[in-house]
Structure 1
Amino acid sequence: MKFINNRIALLVALAFFGISAAAQQIIPNTPKDSVKPVKYTAGNKLKVDGVVAVVGDYVVLDSDIDLMYKEMQAQNVPTADVTRCELIGKLMEDKLYAHQAIQDSIIVHDAEVNETMDRQIDYFVEQLGSADKMVAYFKKKSLDSFKTELFEMIKTQKLTEQMQKKIIDEVEITPEEVRQFYAKFSKEDLPVFGAEMEVAQIVIKPKISQAEKQIVIDRLKQIKKDVQDGSSFYSKAVLYSEDPGSRSSGGFYKITRKTQFVKEFKDTAFSLAEGEISDPVESEFGFHLIYVEKIRGQELDVRHILISPKVTPEALKAAKEKAESIRKKITSGEISFADAARSESDDKDTRNGGGLLMNPRTLETRFELTKMDPTIYNQVADLKNNEVSEPILDTDQRGTQSYKLLTVTNRYNEHAADYAKDYTKIKELALKEKQIKTIAKWSAEKIKDTYIKVNGEYRDCKFANNWVKK
């Protein structure tokens, strides 16, 4: 949104770091004013690392602020105009949310934290080259100590997110409030919406032969036998599962009947007894071997191993030829793109809508170009309206290949907000403003009721919140 002040946008962006800037340690049961400073090395200088703020049961260290700067720089976020006062304010906000989440009995399960931590470590290792380089980069003594701190960081971040969600979940906006929000802008100050486009697709998946399916079924049956003979299901999942979301945690998920998993998976899981392992179960993702580890009423701790049948070169070639044939029919006028998507596309999420892609952020069909998936944008940027792309080989996160045809159905130029045409977007902005005000009111009330102490020079900061309770 072009009307949003860049500096405000930068500070808001800090709230969405995947990991908060430093270990969110809980103060032990000692007097709050007796926490002694420790020494740490910053660059080539020896610096006293003291407690600069206390929020409830949490502390903010001087080194936390330095580390937050380092993380921002690592992510190429401009820091020249960001002050330490702004960063300590952000860190204190995080601590306030986490402290109140504990008071409100909000629970974050260790399995959820471990899953996020494993993904984060995989990312760091990929970026830095090795686990040893990762440990050295973050100046930790060992991988275990790094994991311990990272675990606490992520857990606190998740507490913060859940607390924020609880605060704003009940915030609603009425049509009259949307009208008033829009009316307060002068013509010159109206929000500007960037250029947008609507994109449709037809997906053709290679056919999997029964022989390839049988190979996977036999492999999973052998794994089941190995586990029944004493092997570890956890280890088998780490070694063989093709599910990137659970492989590193031994295939672990915690599910209820409302969990958004495919029907075949849930039906099988809830039909098993505790300690039982299923036969291979087919879904759109491949074949699953499901192990029910623990039953807690309507909640299950399950582990699974996912293996997908391999696509043969012949099947992939046939899928491309089918996509080319469909494209010829569309370009010749024999059938429309939308009708072809409804009758031929293998993507169940888009075919009923004529192939139109849904923007997951707005739940509309329009994509703002600056926020569009770069891969999709590059594939459609040069297409004219209603021109159909050549078949594009696509590989998803699980390594599954398919061919797709893309077309741009509509383009919308950059324009000032129009109440009638852009009502949904204006409503979204009005709701966000109301949510921000709700959070500000909540923060002001909790600050009054929470033990907060700001030390030293930071007491002179001009905070957005009344942290020093003047």
Structure 2
Amino acid sequence: MPLYMLLRYLFVFFVFVTNYHFCAAQQVIDKIVAKVDNQIVLKSEVEISYLQFMRSPEAQMMQTTDDIKCRVLESLIINKMLLARAVMDSVTVEREIINQQIDRRMDYFIQQFGTVAKLESYYNKSIDQLKEELYPQIRDQMVTQKMQDNITAGVTITPNDVKKFYKALPADSLPYFSSEVEVGQIIRLPEINRQDQLKFKQKLEEIRQRVASGEDFCRLAKQFSQDPVSAKNCGEIGFFKKGELVPEYEAAASKLQPGQTSGVIETQYGYHIVQLIERRGAEYNTRHILIKPASSSKDLIYPTLFLDSLRLEILKDSISFAKAAKNYSSDKQTAFNGGMLSDPESGSSRIAQEDLPPAIFFVIDTMKIGEISMPAKFTMEDGTEAVRIVYFKNKIPAHQANLKDDYQKIYSAALEEKKNNAVNEWFDKTKSQVYIDIDDEYKQCEIMIIQK
């Protein structure tokens, strides 16, 4: 397997999923296995990264896995070397950007565990303690990524480069891709009658009055807010810039002075009261209390009828699925992509069938290509009951890589190889300036960057 493919996997792995989450589940007798200036590589890092890589799709493409631990170690040494050089070159990442990344990681962890309480119980630490421990790891990972991006900035390839890359691959090493599908959806949320909505709005208004009377916003957020992530943090959501939050929330925050609390506002997520904590240049930090109107089965009747009629219009070619999704879907993330789901890493509309959300996987399992399902109720990630129709656009059978079906993937691989070459050239120029020592356990590894 080319080193660039392993490098690509490990860099993606480090950017999106920190080792911290997996360390708690692994029992590895630790020791230092490599030193790169003042940076160290631990045996646990090698073992955990190896296990994670062996579970990845990239590992399935390989003809042999004989020297993967050596390649993993090499990639970790490269990371440490980038970090060591970043220190020399004063490459840094702003604290607020690091904190935003930590918040995103925490959101990911909370989704995996189900609740904040379960996460804190598992590690026997508070969210703030976990964030504090994650900070140096995330900082180093982001600095490393920034250093690599600086090295590869401006690297591009042409269609002719892609063809040359593909033709140079040995026929017996072409990866075999599993079955992929293209699937779209149009979602409609429950339409709660206005009288019921006002009951929830009034509940929040009573909470707002308690804040105005001097009660602690933090305590009330923890007690009442239905935003599970921010509620545990006194309702605080962190710093954002203009245009990053929904307009209604942003408009309310823009009118406040630090310490002031807004009236009740309505967004697509429910009802909020917003308190401004701090302004810092173009950024602002707020906390909020969210109350989400609860729906009942009767609130899903109209969305179901609406989608049923819309489905018939699409089938009659009166409107395309893409236009219908853009105009009518409540899921804005997919609406602007014609309703199509996309791979989170590549952005492609082609998704490995096994990576589909289970609910959609079982829906299309009984469908033919080109069909649109009948409206069906489902539960969204935030617990909201909704209705959707699913479009089974296409299926690409399992196959060996080829330019016609897999141009984008081959393009990405070719670009990564060219970026890797740029990094290799940088290493050749830089390695003499950095001290590298490897433990005897890994002396048999032919580490590229210390070869003479």
- Per the alignment, do residues 253 and 184 of structure 1 end up closer, same or farther by CA in structure 2, a change over 3 Å counting? same
Q: Secondary structure at the match of 1:173?
A: coil
CA distance in 2, matches of 1:124, 1:355: 25
Q: For residue 265 of structure 2, what is the amino acid of its counterpart?
A: V
- Per the alignment, do residues 189 and 352 of structure 1 end up closer, same or farther by CA in structure 2, a change over 3 Å counting? same
Structure 2 unmatched ranges of 5 or more: none
**Partner residue, 1:401:** 385
Asked whether the 8 Å contact 2:182–2:341 carries over to 1, the reply is yes
Q: Which residues in structure 2 correspond to 1:403-422 (within 5 Å)?
A: 403-415=387-399, 419=403, 422=406
Q: Aligned residues, how many?
A: 436
Q: Which residues in structure 2 correspond to 1:284-303 (within 5 Å)?
A: 284-303=268-287
CA distance in 2, matches of 1:120, 1:352: 24
Q: Secondary structure at the match of 1:441?
A: helix
Shift of 1:81: 5.6
Q: Which residues in structure 2 correspond to 1:58-69 (within 5 Å)?
A: 58-62=39-43, 64-65=45-46
Q: For residue 160 of structure 1, what is the amino acid of its counterpart?
A: T
**Partner residue, 1:94:** 79
Shift of 1:384: 0.8
Q: Which residues in structure 2 correspond to 1:434-453 (within 5 Å)?
A: 434-450=418-434, 452-453=435-436
| 1:404-460: CA deviation from partner (whole Å, max 9, x where unpaired) | 11121333334555546654443223222222223333344443333x342541572
| 1:285-337: CA deviation from partner (whole Å, max 9, x where unpaired) | 22232222111111212223333222133112333344345446666x48566
CA distance in 1, matches of 2:398, 2:217: 54
Q: Which residues in structure 2 correspond to 1:304-323 (within 5 Å)?
A: 304-323=288-307
CA distance in 1, matches of 2:114, 2:83: 30
Q: Secondary structure at the match of 1:216?
A: helix
Q: Structure 2 length normalisation: TM-score?
A: 0.76
Q: RMSD in angstroms over aligned alpha carbons?
A: 4.4
Q: Does 1:20 align with 2:4?
A: no
Shift of 1:170: 3.7
CA distance in 2, matches of 1:185, 1:364: 23
Q: Secondary structure at the match of 2:448?
A: coil
CA distance in 1, matches of 2:327, 2:4: 47
**Partner residue, 1:466:** 449
Asked whether the 8 Å contact 2:46–2:72 carries over to 1, the reply is yes
| 1:334-376: CA deviation from partner (whole Å, max 9, x where unpaired) | 8566275566544455557664444444444333434444432
Q: Does 1:454 align with 2:437?
A: yes
**Partner residue, 2:248:** 264
Q: For residue 96 of structure 1, what is the amino acid of its counterpart?
A: M
Q: For residue 106 of structure 1, what is the amino acid of its counterpart?
A: V
Q: Does 1:56 align with 2:37?
A: yes
**Partner residue, 1:253:** 238
Asked whether the 8 Å contact 2:70–2:442 carries over to 1, the reply is no
Q: After alignment, is 180-189 or 265-274 more displaced? A: 180-189
**Partner residue, 2:94:** 107
Shift of 1:56: 3.4
**Residue identity (%):** 26
Asked whether the 8 Å contact 2:83–2:143 carries over to 1, the reply is yes
CA distance in 2, matches of 1:246, 1:166: 34
- Per the alignment, do residues 188 and 359 of structure 1 end up closer, same or farther by CA in structure 2, a change over 3 Å counting? same
Shift of 1:270: 2.9
Q: After alignment, is 363-372 or 375-384 more displaced? A: 363-372
Q: For residue 112 of structure 1, what is the amino acid of its counterpart?
A: Q
CA distance in 2, matches of 1:52, 1:117: 28
Shift of 1:377: 2.4
Q: Does 1:367 align with 2:344?
A: no
Structure 1 unmatched ranges of 5 or more: 25-41
Q: Secondary structure at the match of 2:382?
A: coil
Q: Secondary structure at the match of 1:219?
A: helix
- Per the alignment, do residues 307 and 281 of structure 1 end up closer, same or farther by CA in structure 2, a change over 3 Å counting? same
**Partner residue, 1:391:** 375
Q: For residue 104 of structure 1, what is the amino acid of its counterpart?
A: V
Q: Secondary structure at the match of 1:309?
A: coil
CA distance in 2, matches of 1:328, 1:96: 59
Q: Does 1:157 align with 2:141?
A: yes
**Partner residue, 1:31:** none
- Per the alignment, do residues 174 and 73 of structure 1 end up closer, same or farther by CA in structure 2, a change over 3 Å counting? closer
CA distance in 2, matches of 1:466, 1:405: 53
Shift of 1:383: 0.5
**Partner residue, 1:276:** 260
Q: Find the partner of 1:223 among 171, 186, 207.
A: 207
**Partner residue, 1:27:** none
Q: Does 1:200 align with 2:184?
A: yes
| 1:122-159: CA deviation from partner (whole Å, max 9, x where unpaired) | 47866997856646xxxx9x999877644433443343
Q: Secondary structure at the match of 2:77?
A: helix
Q: Secondary structure at the match of 1:397?
A: coil
Q: Secondary structure at the match of 1:172?
A: coil
CA distance in 2, matches of 1:319, 1:265: 26
CA distance in 1, matches of 2:359, 2:114: 20
In terms of fraction of residues, the more helix-rich structure is 2
Q: For residue 53 of structure 1, what is the amino acid of its counterpart?
A: A
Q: For residue 20 of structure 1, what is the amino acid of its counterpart?
A: N
Asked whether the 8 Å contact 1:114–1:249 carries over to 2, the reply is no
- Per the alignment, do residues 197 and 237 of structure 1 end up closer, same or farther by CA in structure 2, a change over 3 Å counting? same
